[in-house]
Amino acid sequence: MQEEKPIILNYNSASSLRSFLQSEGLGMRKKYGQNFLLNSGIRHALVNALEAEAGAEVWEIGAGLGAMTALLLEKGLLVRAFEIDCGFSRLLKGLFSGSENFFLVEGDVMKTWPSQKPASYLLGNLPYNIAAALIADLIEKGRLFTRMVVTVQREVALRMYAKAGSADYSSFSVLCSLFYKVKPLMLIRSGSFYPRPNVDSSGVLLERRSEIVSCPDLFFPLLRALFSSRRKTIKNNLSAFIASKFGKPREVTEKICTRLLAEFGLAGNERAEILEPQAFLSLSNLLLEILPDECKHCR
Ligand code: SAM
């Protein structure tokens, strides 16, 4: 009788990963953006870019089959791994539950992260469908990291470090650059993943800014509103925002808008893309100053 050969999990080989998953009765789920990073050099470079010392706490988003998790644990880091796929979670427990530095958070990270202990570092080959939403959510809810190293679709990376005035500049660029210095690390060709996605990705480093940015609650919805219709002017987007948020009569909304733009030195026919990240913050602070004054007159 022939002896069955044990299946070795080789993170650098698509065929090895495929056989391993088959032997475990697991498949890949497109809806979870499951694309494994096959290139060991890139995996090491991403983990090294974190510059985290042994003993530091790190969140790993989308641990998959543990290719990056293993590297983080080798560095002596305390890993809090987030994974939605129950099959992968079972494998991760089998692979790493012997390590006291490994802690698994099962379920959708968009729902699970708020109850988790904060960490200084975040690493993730992020599922494409939640990448931008997760980064924005962490920033908006004030969960900031000393350093984050993420792999995202190239087009998302371009938005993260886009400068004012460029075609890729968006509310997401403003959020990222207000709180972090965003640096491109490397281009990762689609062929470096299994299964191969349709587009290339980029590794991106986000280094927390040393200056504390304090944002009024109004800032985040105002920022989104100013970019909500890119064809509209700042004035149009601003008055729609004030009307929907505060329900003021049209003349009051117009008055607030005109005063805000004049005090800010804008004609009103500009588009949000021309404003530097800091300007959105100043605009929301000024709106808060003006509102009580203007609203004394409205019933
Ligand atoms: N870390 C592995 C690697 O680099 O090869 C896998 C990365 S793969 C692009 C994304 C991983 O995120 C998958 O394991 C997927 O199951 C997981 N994932 C997808 N959506 C998720 C969510 N909402 N919450 C937690 N994990 C998620």
> Which DSSP string do the residues of 183-203 spell out, in sequence order?
EEEEEE-GGGEES--SS-EEE
Mutate to test the pocket of ligand 1, among 34, 79, 105, 156 (most ligand atoms within 8 A of CB): 34
pLDDT per residue as tens digits for the range 118-162 = 999 999 999 999 999 999 999 999 999 999 999 999 999 999 999
Q: How far is the CA of 180 from the centre of ligand 1 (A)?
A: 23
pLDDT at res. 298: 47
Q: How far is ligand 1, taken at its centre, from the CA of residue 36, in Å? A: 9
Atom 12 of ligand 1: nearest residue by CA position: 62
Give the mean pLDDT per block of 10 residues along the chain (299 residues).
64 94 91 95 98 98 97 98 97 94 98 98 97 98 97 98 96 97 98 96 97 88 92 90 84 88 91 95 92 59
Helices (H), the chain: 14-23, 40-49, 67-74, 86-96, 109-112, 131-140, 154-160, 171-179, 219-228, 234-246, 250-264, 277-295
Position 296 scores a pLDDT of 54
For residues 183 and 202, is the Cβ–Cβ distance under 8 A?
no
Q: Is omega for the bond preceding 127 within 30 degrees of 0, making it cis?
A: no
Ligand 1: list residues with CB < 6 Å.
32-37, 62-64, 67-68, 82-85, 88, 108-110, 125, 127, 130
- How many Å separate Cα 63 from the centre of its chain? 16
Q: Is 296 exposed, middle or buried (0-12, 13-18, 19+ CB in 10 A)?
A: exposed
Q: How many CB atoms lie within 10 A of CB 139?
A: 20
Strand bridging mode 78-83 / 102-106: parallel
Q: Which residue intervals of 3-103 are DSSP H helices?
A: 14-23, 40-49, 67-74, 86-96
- Nearest CA to 181 out of 202, 157, 205 is that of 205
Going by alpha carbons, the residue nearest to atom 8 of ligand 1 is 34
Predicted TM-score (pTM) of this structure: 0.94
- Phi and psi (nearest 5°) for 198? -80, -20
pLDDT in tens, 270-294: 999 999 999 999 999 999 988 776 6
Q: How far is the CA of 46 from the centre of ligand 1 (A)?
A: 16
**Angle between helix 40-49 and 67-74 (nearest 10):** 50
Q: List 152's β-bridge partners, or say none.
A: 202
